[in-house]
Amino acid sequence: MGMLSLPGFLSCGRKKNFSLTIEKDAHSSNSDENKDRGNWSTKADYLLSMVGYAVGLGNVWRFPYLAYQNGGGAFLIPYTVMLALAGLPLFFMECSLGQFASLGPVSIWKILPLFQGVGITMVIISTFVTVYYNVIIAYALYYLFASFQTVLPWSDCFSWADEFCSKTRIVNDCNTTLNGEIIHANYSFVISNNLTCINGTINYKPVQFPTEQYWNKVALQRSSGLDETGRIVWYLALCLLLSWIIVAAALYKGIKSSGKVVYFTALFPYVILLILLVRGATLEGALDGIEFYIGRQSNITKLMEAEVWKDAATQIFYSLSTGWGGLVALSSYNKFYNNCYSDAIVVCVTNCLTSVFAGFAIFSVLGHMAFVSERPVSEVVDSGFELAFVAYPEALSQLPVSPLWSFLFFFMLLLLGLDSQFASIETLTTTIHDINPMTLKKFRVPITLGLCAVLFLLGLICVTQAGIYWVNLIDHFCAGWGILISAVLEIIGIVYIYGGNRFIEDIEMMIGKKTFSFWLWWRICWFFITPVLLVAILIWSLATFAEPTYGSVLYPTWGTAVGWCMIIFCVIWIPIVAIVKIYKAEGNLFQRVVSCCRPSASWGPYLEHHRGERYSHMVDSKKKRDHDVPTVFASIY
């Protein structure tokens, strides 16, 4: 319980800190060095929050499939190389940036006012993603609750199924031998005449497995396309509401509460993964699945294909959550002298090892499913929604005590999703909080609750019968090359305009002076390799960009137009803010551009005693309001 502060004229000398407020800021405590914004209670809170943010659903449902598709164990070579060349350098840069200035992803661009639109773009894209990401968490919640049954509802073709539903493949026709001649016949004719199909000539009927029909007909109640919105699926809406209540409850005190929740949400998925791996490894056919994933099926010649390296770089980039603003936001609550260098390495390595570890748990069970259904592993493996809500549930339904394994799997998906969502919402609240930390810190609870309520309402369209099409549309446009544009401009702006060597000196103020050889690798990456790789990925993404589809369902023209409007709305702030900054500056055009490429007067360490001689000239934004820091919703000065 807080204390009520006494008016200034009633305080006496050193007794001023003795106050009886009821309204004590939940985001800061007496042990914090930054009283305005607060700090992480412990280093473990920060590290687990970062691991939870970086380790998400993609580690479970995307990486194993990419590894299988791109040469198995051989894929680990480009994956590791891209971690060292692109992922880790950008991750370290963003962590250092947020910690140095103790500012969120928009306010941090005091470092380079011309590029402040990059921060706004990051925040808007994160907003779009949080809307649909919690819908995926709602899917996991629905399947979690559905697992509390003796017989899993997707384990067989029940009353909701149609004539195309079948647990096994149904033979349609094949070649057979009749009176010494090879003929092509329907399977019913082959059976009635006691004939045998010739191997390799069997054609199967287009059937759907129970898990696929349950996902489309029951869970989603999926309509025919984006044109047919249909009604709100009430149980998905309730699950969405519950997921937002969980997020709001975990974040109502900001990092002080979420930093404790992640001890469970970040660590327990590893326990579940281990349980699933141990169980999967004891099943028949598990070895076949693992060999398809990373064993003898590995194809080293795949490394000669550019697509493999592109997939490795893209997976690293998105898996580490760089370019979203979340790393800057979470690191901004670190104490100034925290060793952000070691933190970056620990989190990045943990994230990548988790991806590899998850693949063993996934493919061991899929291998068993292939064995039971007498299909090759290549026919049962999948990624994304199809892996999480179709292929893997089908595999789990074939195990003894299947409800238990189903519960564990979807509980793991729930926790993985919540961790990432916590950080995304913290990014948004940090951006709002940075408008005026002294004033808005008192309103952190209503801001968090209000933001969650608004995002819940925006997400309702994603739980209609056409909801999955909206989820896929937002993901297709907003979670793609918009983030790549932000990341490219971020590293170019900091290294080439602000100055890479200058930025290194800023980092050394936090972690201590380092040798030239220590920084040699980081200079090579920041100045050349990482920007080139990011630009290459961006160009490749734009060149291979395709119209959105969901399975075989095409999107209407207006739906694609909405997608383009969303991404344009995200990135258009980059030129708009730059133009406004230049227009508001003084002098001729060249002088204006130059002045906007210099850090603002209030750029530097947040607290005065951390500034030293290098930033002794810095204008304290707490004493003099800095007008170079608009937010997404504020006017641009």
| Alpha-carbon span 371 to 375, nearest angstrom | 7
Kindly report the number of other CB atoms within 10 A of residue 109's CB atom: 28
Half-sphere exposure of 529 (CA within 13 A, CB side): 17
| Residue 412 contacts residue 273 (beta carbons within 8 Å) | yes
Identify the CA nearest to 604 among candidates 105, 97, 94, 104.
Answer: 97
Query: Six-digit token pair at 378?
Result: 């290549």
Query: Do the annotations mark residue 55 as ligand-binding?
Result: yes
Distance CA 7, CA 201 (A): 89
Distance CA 330, CA 102 (A): 9
Which amino acid appears at position 519 of this protein?
Answer: W
Tell me if 420 is assigned to a ligand binding site: yes
Is 419 annotated as ligand-binding? Answer: yes
- State yes or no: 54 annotated in a binding site: yes
273 is in an annotated binding site: no
52 is in an annotated binding site: yes
Secondary structure (H, E, C), 539-608: HHHHHCCCCCEECCEECCHHHHHHHHHHHHHHHCHHHHHHHHHHHHCCCCHHHHHHHHCCCCCCCCCCCH
Nearby residues of 244 by Cβ (< 8 Å), 6 or more positions away = 134, 452, 453, 455, 456, 459
Cα separation, 83 vs 98, in Å, equals 21
**DSSP character at residue 148:** S
The residues that bridge with 460 in the sheet, in sequence order, are none
17 is in an annotated binding site: no
Burial of residue 20, with CB atoms counted within 10 A of its CB: 0-12 exposed, 13-18 middle, 19 or more buried: exposed
Non-local CB neighbours of 335 within 8 Å, separated by 6+ positions? 33, 34, 39, 40
CB 583 within 8 A of CB 601: no
End-to-end CA distance of the chain: 40
Are residues 430 and 251 in contact, defined by beta-carbon separation less than 8 angstroms?
A: no
Q: Which of 494-502's residues contact partners 24+ apart within 8 Å by CB, and which partners?
A: 494/93, 494/97, 494/111, 494/112, 495/526, 495/527, 495/531, 497/112, 497/114, 497/115, 497/597, 498/111, 498/112, 498/599, 500/526, 500/527
- Inter-residue contact 500 to 522 (CB < 8 Å): no
The answer to whether 45 is annotated as binding is no
**DSSP of 218-244:** IIS---SSTT----B-HHHHHHHHHHH
- Which residues have a Cβ under 8 Å from the Cβ of 227 and sit 6 or more positions away? 466, 556, 559
The Cα 207–Cα 496 span in angstroms is: 57
Would you list which residues are annotated within the binding site?
52, 54-55, 59, 319, 351, 416, 419-420
Binding site for Na(+), residues? 52, 54-55, 59, 319, 351, 416, 419-420
